[in-house]
Structure 1
Amino acid sequence: MATLIGDSKSAVQPSEEQQVVLDEQIGHIRVVTLNSPRKLNIISSKVVSRLAELFEKWEDEKEAEIIIIKGTGRAFSAGGDLKMFYEGKADESWIEVVYRMYWLLYHLHTYKKTLVAIVHGLAMGGGASFAVPSTFSVVTENTVFATPEAGFGFHTDCSFSYVLSHLPGHLGEYLALTGARFDGAEMVATGLATHYVPSKKLPELEKRLVSLSSGEREAVKASIEEFSIQVKPGEKSILNNIPLIDKCFSKDTVEEIIESLVAESNTEGNEWVKETIKTLKRSSPSGLKITLQSIRRGRKQILFECLKKEFRLTINTLRGLISNDMYEGIRAIMIEKDNSPKWNPLSLSEITEEKLELVFNPFKDEFELQLPEEGKIARWEGKYENSSYQKK
């Protein structure tokens, strides 16, 4: 049973099948807790199915006014269960799992009720996609955000080709290509989160939310602000290098981005550039090229279009249409952990524009991701506009 505070007689007792996701009802509050702490709350097919069921149910429930999502242990969610695809042990066909996940993402971005994500610990890739589109995203001093998919042969998925491409300047390209980590203060500064609350105050915050008489958003916001504090990124934050990031990551190709970084690497005070170059050079060439193209297209796309594009990219990557790097990356980094992936193609130059286009093309013989037209409206859009790092 999930426990928010005290003894809740209305808490729902989950079955064995649903223990990875706990849900609780306290008056007009609904709480969902990702509950696989030993696996850092990874998103399995069971998690996707259960979350989709709960969010749909609560959106239609008149009594449900505030939905809180959080994780147990050291993570909010470390992202998708990629081992499921590598080992071929999905409970359903993998196309169906991916399809359901993208429907869930659409639902979260367009949700009608007030969503509050309490992001304490790791929030990686698909896991972070449950937090960023929430009405209010609360982070702490222990929050770690990253989208590391390109590095192991995948692409920046789960709506992040939209989210990152709409960040100030070319910060989105930097985060997507390097998998660089942000802390809570950096998330708030760039609009990826709305509030910073010290972890010791989270129990009090949850009690305060439960005490509210309604889910009216201004009231929820005011309550969170009672416990939130103003924070600024530290002196070593990558956000202090925004001009240089814009200069290098605005280039047209991955090759040109690396060349630009190399040219800057000998300048005093740019030590982080050398590490960035190392990161890009050890990453999957196909993952980098697909990701950059996806982020660039995302700049001109609305959420609805980005989700459909990412669905295609995911299916085509799982099929190994132009490369099996994703499986090799999972093997080297997550399964055997030798950290010595054998990328194929081995070089960026081998991935031509014609080959790259294959993974972006609409399906000819199968269904596309079908979303309602209202999916074109993204509540997250413009969320970062008041960011202290908005490009002027």
Structure 2
Amino acid sequence: MAHAGVEEVDMVVLGEEHDHVRIATLNQPRRLNVISFDVVALMAKFMEKWEKDGNAELILIKGSGRAFSAGGDLKMFYQGKMSENPSVEVVYRMYWLCYHLHTYTKTQVALADGITMGGGGAFMAPAKFSIVTENTVFATPETSVGFHTDCSLSYKLSRLPGHLGEFLGLTGARLNGPELIAIGFATHFVPSQKMAELESQLIALNSGEENAVRSVIEEISTNVSIDSKSFLNKERIAIIDKCFSKDSMEEILASFEGEASKEGGEWMHTFLKPLKKASPTALKITLRSIREARKQTLGECLKKEFRITMNVLKTVISPDVYEGIRALTIDKDNSPKWEPATLESVDEEKVSLVLQPFDQNLELRIPTSDELRWDGKFEESPYAHKIVAAH
């Protein structure tokens, strides 16, 4: 086993090379493989190197411990704010990495055995083959910390049937392995105890030829179906579509509350509670972002998400993201004080401010046409001089 020119000690991402197979392992099990500056930098380094490597054909991405990835490192962003240095460079690089993963020319297999939250889904969903298990739990819980659905997920959610994308993005509803397959975010279900066997067989296959990779996976994968109590069943999806198709966030909440009060609506309270507790500003931004994404290419979505993220971190219209992180991960009181505190107090014109294009030299520099793709070279960001000194 040869690691890709790095030492294992303290490496947050391990790169392995096995003849024609390459493996990237997110390697912070005690922190549930959160995505930090160093994770983004190393993932980008390995993915760029392997795409240019004529000997590399198959790329495996996995997590160590009980998680694939729990998403972005929230404390990193909070510390950036406290030091008056928002972590803008990691944001720029992460969106570039998202674009690269979506346009990658070599076969990728994501082995998502465990927690896969927010940005962690950006490492899973673009892969040609996304493998989930009974341990996989996916969600986009960003509104609960005053943030928005990002890292290409506004694009992914907007492509789901009906208004399921709004429901998932706004409520942070959790999906298990079979549910991820049902909505198309994963391709195969493999029991957790067989994941090591699958990895060994893919390494032994020593090829990135898609049909051959698919055959190996299908030999070990299991057919699954969603539980009868899943919110994805026909009757519940109809209610979700009815409520989350409303024009405004206020109307969505009122409609969902009304349905939850009816006989048989008890299942909705699981999702109504986080919806009512989330940042009103984040809810309105997320709703707008997902709906705009329906008419946007991947590149356009990423550029839009980048603008939103930058403006949210700069507290252009609200400090909610830092208050949410404080309440969840710093003081851990789980009692954020949102500003503004109600949906009615969130000015739609102010929401529009976070979506406005930047000066051209400050935009995310990626192609916006789906016919164009990454050219194999990272475009240095105009924010590079703002990298936190520790990096």
Q: Distance in 2 between matches of 1:314 and 1:136?
A: 29
Taking a change above 3 Å as real, the CA distance of residues 333 and 133 of structure 1, as seen in their structure-2 partners, is same
Residue of structure 1 equivalent to 2:88: 95
Q: How does 1:11-160 map to 2 (within 5 A)?
A: 11-12=3-4, 14-15=6-7, 19-88=11-80, 94-160=87-153
CA contact (8 A) 2:367 2:373 kept: no
Three-state SS of the structure 1 residue aligned to 2:23 is strand
Three-state SS of the structure 2 residue aligned to 1:23 is strand
Residue among 224, 229, 234 paired with 2:227:
234
Three-state SS of the structure 1 residue aligned to 2:311 is helix
Residue of structure 2 equivalent to 1:197: 190
* Structure 1 unpaired stretches of 5+: 1-7, 380-392
Three-state SS of the structure 2 residue aligned to 1:117 is strand
Residue of structure 2 equivalent to 1:351: 346
Three-state SS of the structure 1 residue aligned to 2:24 is strand
How many Å apart are 1:16 and its aligned residue? 6.6
Residue of structure 1 equivalent to 2:365: 370
How many residue pairs get matched? Answer: 370
Counterpart amino acid of residue 30 in structure 1? R
How many Å apart are 1:15 and its aligned residue? 3.2
TM-superposition CA deviations, 1:165-214 (whole Å, max 9, x none): 10111111000000010000000011000000001111111111111142
Counterpart amino acid of residue 35 in structure 1? N
1:216 partnered with 2:209: yes
Q: Distance in 1 between matches of 2:370 and 2:256?
A: 38
Q: Distance in 2 between matches of 1:376 and 1:362?
A: 22
Counterpart amino acid of residue 351 in structure 2? L
Q: Distance in 2 between matches of 1:207 and 1:219?
A: 14
Residue among 271, 279, 290 paired with 1:276:
271
Residue of structure 1 equivalent to 2:176: 183
Q: Distance in 1 between matches of 2:86 and 2:279?
A: 26
Residue among 189, 193, 206 paired with 2:199:
206
TM-superposition CA deviations, 1:326-345 (whole Å, max 9, x none): 00000001111101100001
Three-state SS of the structure 1 residue aligned to 2:185 is coil
How many Å apart are 1:273 and its aligned residue? 2.0
TM-superposition CA deviations, 1:281-308 (whole Å, max 9, x none): 1110001000000000011111111000
CA contact (8 A) 2:8 2:14 kept: no
TM-superposition CA deviations, 1:118-171 (whole Å, max 9, x none): 001000001111010001000000000000001211000000000001011111
Q: Distance in 1 between matches of 2:176 and 2:165?
A: 15
Q: Distance in 2 between matches of 1:35 and 1:16?
A: 9
How many Å apart are 1:374 and its aligned residue? 5.7
Counterpart amino acid of residue 256 in structure 2? L
Q: Distance in 1 between matches of 2:45 and 2:4?
A: 14
CA contact (8 A) 1:86 1:330 kept: yes
Residue among 158, 167, 170 paired with 1:165:
158
* Structure 2 unpaired stretches of 5+: 375-391
Taking a change above 3 Å as real, the CA distance of residues 56 and 17 of structure 1, as seen in their structure-2 partners, is farther
RMSD after superposition: 1.8
CA contact (8 A) 2:59 2:106 kept: yes
Three-state SS of the structure 2 residue aligned to 1:292 is helix
Taking a change above 3 Å as real, the CA distance of residues 38 and 18 of structure 1, as seen in their structure-2 partners, is closer
CA contact (8 A) 1:120 1:142 kept: yes
TM-superposition CA deviations, 1:20-72 (whole Å, max 9, x none): 11111111000010000000000010000000010000000010000000000
How many Å apart are 1:372 and its aligned residue? 3.1
Residue of structure 2 equivalent to 1:383: none
Three-state SS of the structure 2 residue aligned to 1:137 is strand
Taking a change above 3 Å as real, the CA distance of residues 17 and 154 of structure 1, as seen in their structure-2 partners, is farther
Q: Distance in 2 between matches of 1:137 and 1:378?
A: 21
1:309 partnered with 2:301: no
CA contact (8 A) 1:109 1:378 kept: no
Q: Distance in 2 between matches of 1:36 and 1:232?
A: 32
Counterpart amino acid of residue 160 in structure 2? L
CA contact (8 A) 2:68 2:112 kept: yes
Three-state SS of the structure 1 residue aligned to 2:246 is coil
Q: Distance in 1 between matches of 2:179 and 2:269?
A: 22
How many Å apart are 1:93 and its aligned residue? 6.3
Deviates more, 1:35-44 or 1:254-263: 254-263
Residue of structure 2 equivalent to 1:334: 329
How many Å apart are 1:378 and its aligned residue? 8.7
Residue among 291, 294, 306 paired with 1:296:
291
TM-superposition CA deviations, 1:260-294 (whole Å, max 9, x none): 11221222221122332222111100010000000
Taking a change above 3 Å as real, the CA distance of residues 320 and 17 of structure 1, as seen in their structure-2 partners, is farther
Q: Distance in 2 between matches of 1:33 and 1:191?
A: 23
Return the TM-score normalized by structure 1.
0.91
